[in-house]
Amino acid sequence: MKIGSWKKPNIEKQYIIGGGILLALIIFGIIVSIANSGKEETLPYETVITETVTMAETETVTEAPTKSAAELQAEKEAEEKARQEALIDEELDSYDNLGICRLKDGGFLNVREEPGKSAAVIGKFYNNSACDILETVEDGAWYHISSGGLEGYVKSDYIATGDEGRTLAKQHFAQRAIVIPDVLWIRQEPGTDAKVLGAVRKGERYEVLDNTDGWVKIEEGYISSEYVEIRNCLNEAREANEKQDVLSYYDNLGISNVNNYLNIRKSPGKNSEVIGKLPGDAGADILGVEDGWYKIRSGAVTGYVSADYLLTGDEANRRAIEKSTVMAIVSTGGGEGLNVRTGPGKDYQVWTSISNKERYPVLDKESGWVKIDLGDTDEDGEASTAWVSGDYVSVRQALNEAISYSESAAKNSFRQKVCNFGVKYCGNPYVWGGTSLTGGCDCSGFTMKVFANFGISLPHYSGAQAKMGVKVTTATMKPGDLIFYANKSGTIN
């Protein structure tokens, strides 16, 4: 272009260039926007977690308001109640056919060996105790049951079953101690040195009154917690074993550990005077200890026995339970004798008389009379038995006890010498027809040999001996006199 000359600009061309530039900017913006739209905006990891936790905490506080202590306690009690109910149901379900003893006046129901009132009693089924009913017998009159390790028969009239039994059972669950060993001692106080009152047996259940320092308190006394399982359960039957009751009659029991007799002496020492005889497995109360000798009281005799021949502690308790038996102990209240009759009643003939505090094994009871074993046999080899009035004897588990013996009286009495000589051989073997005081003899052979030692000749037969000498009565008899027993027909043997 020349200076001074002017040419009109091309407006259309400028618009085209500007529009192109604008279009390029718009397209670029769109491309950038599209590229960014595929990416999410994120925060650092730590920030995300922190905000999430904060939100959760905020939500918890908002949705679960704080409960009161009373509400929490109520929930806890409800949970415990549900747990206990579940345990009770589990226990009840362990019985295949549940039966519960139901007695109006409490006490116990006899468990018998066979169905019938005359069958032997083998256990006690206490009120509200549980059993499994195995079968129904005798037209529904008796149930054959299993309970506490016993199997036997009980009257069905006194057993609740079905829903009634289950409802009754739930009312009598309690914390009980179940005995693990065969025998466990019951003690007067907690501790192994405490007096033994009796024993409990394997499988028996006793309600727990207290459980402290290794000792469980039950109604009968204390037992070691080491030998019991404690849990909530029902009571069950117990074996009818009352032999352990004998332990309650001694404060500090000692048992003679001899085959025949143990000498009881006036003072400690082998040279001291003999004042009594303690039969084998007889019981005594130990009063003290002195130089290897025990001072004892047994029956009417108090004196000393060698400690070498007397069982004490648990060993004595076990022997006592093993050897105790039901005895009739004469209690006439004085020096009077008790008539022994041929049958259960005053109309029966009097055989003989026995002295106060003497004790004899019990064979039977009938209408207020007690059948006892006199410890002899008749000509048929059967035990000589007799009856005494139940009003004048105490019938219980018992052990033999000491008999009096006098050495000093022997110095002044021929009769006593005869008796003292004979007592030396008591406890030796009984041999039918025998005549040896040491090797064995029978009753008439014994008296024959004893009197022969003093120059008195007697035949070897009790019926013949009864015809010798002079007849005496129970009122006039003295030491050394012979007493003969007749059978029901009046024959002496």
Res 289: pLDDT: 96
Q: How far is CA 204 from CA 16, 110, 113, 134, 227, in A?
A: 116, 16, 19, 20, 12
Confidence tier at 411 by pLDDT (50, 70, 90)? low
CB 416 within 8 Å of CB 424:
no
Higher pLDDT, residue 486 or 133: 133
Res 211: pLDDT: 96
pLDDT tens sequence across 413-464 = 677 778 878 887 887 888 888 888 888 898 888 999 999 888 788 888 888 8
Confidence tier at 297 by pLDDT (50, 70, 90)? very high
Res 31: pLDDT: 64
Res 67: pLDDT: 83
pLDDT at 378 over 50: no
Confidence tier at 218 by pLDDT (50, 70, 90)? very high
pLDDT at 2 over 50: no
The whole-number average pLDDT for the span 196-214 is: 93
* Residues 6 or more apart whose Cβ sits within 8 Å of residue 447: 422, 458, 465, 482
Please give the mean pLDDT across all residues of the chain. Answer: 83
In the DSSP assignment, the letter for residue 127 is T
- Percent of the chain at pLDDT > 90 equals 46
Res 13: pLDDT: 52
Report the residue count for the chain: 493
Q: Taking the model in full, what pTM does it have?
A: 0.58
pLDDT at 255 over 80: yes
Res 417: pLDDT: 76
Ordered alpha helix ranges (H), 130-275: 162-170
Bridge partners, residue 255, by sequence: 283, 311
Letter for the amino acid at 109?
L
The whole-number average pLDDT for the span 317-325 is: 92
The whole-number average pLDDT for the span 217-237 is: 96
